[in-house]
Amino acid sequence: MNDAIAAYANNLDPQRAAICGQLQGVIAELLPQATSKVWHAIPVWFIGENPVVGYTARKEGVMLMFWNGQSFGEPELEASGSFHMAQIAYTDASQVNREKLAVWLAKAGTSIWDAVGWRNEQLAKRRAEKAKAKAKPKPKVKAKAKVKAKAKAKSRPKKTAKKKRPARKK
């Protein structure tokens, strides 16, 4: 058992703590290849570096989330967020159906969304865009001072030598 995850449940009211305790036990039993930790302040189980299942205590109950849950094809799991996540809400420990949870956890253990690979791909794209923007040759601009000086010189009439005027007679 993960002490940080147990501490998470111990800080909740008895109803939500019971739901979390039940979920933690079933997940640990049916997903033994996963490692668990409190990640972004919620209990999450990982396979490799990728999150696969986790839960969070809400005001009214506990939300069980599967990071690739939208690909499971399970009508009881509601799509959530802009990625592949799907979730189900529990307001009482008696609502946790071990058989359904076993099916979902089996899928979570084999149908893994490569969140780490996706994140690395996005970072690589951003870096490439920045490098491309830096590498673009900037158009050459003449120095403003020189351009202005030449423009002024062209607009002035040429000075002609003054003709000597004859001296005035007194």
What does the pLDDT look like over 51-84, one tens digit per residue?
999 999 999 899 999 999 998 999 999 998 767 8
pLDDT of 118: 63
pLDDT of 125: 81
Distance CA 153, CA 1 (A): 86
Evaluate if residue 37 carries a pLDDT over 90. Answer: yes
Q: What is the pTM of this model?
A: 0.67
Distance CA 38, CA 40 (A): 7
Distance CA 48, CA 50 (A): 6
pLDDT of 7: 94
Evaluate if residue 101 carries a pLDDT over 80. Answer: yes
CATH of the domain spanning 3-114, picked from 3.90.1150.200, 3.90.850.10, 1.10.357.10, 3.40.50.300: 3.90.1150.200
Whether the CA torsion 124, 127, 132, 113 is positive or negative: it is: positive
Listed by start position, the domains of the chain span 3-114
Are the C-beta atoms of 30 and 99 separated by less than 8 Å? no
Q: What is the 3-state secondary structure (H, E, C) of 8-68?
A: HHHCCCHHHHHHHHHHHHHHHHHCCCCEEEEECCEEEEEECCEEEEEEEECCCCEEEEECC
The three-class DSSP label of residue 153 is: helix
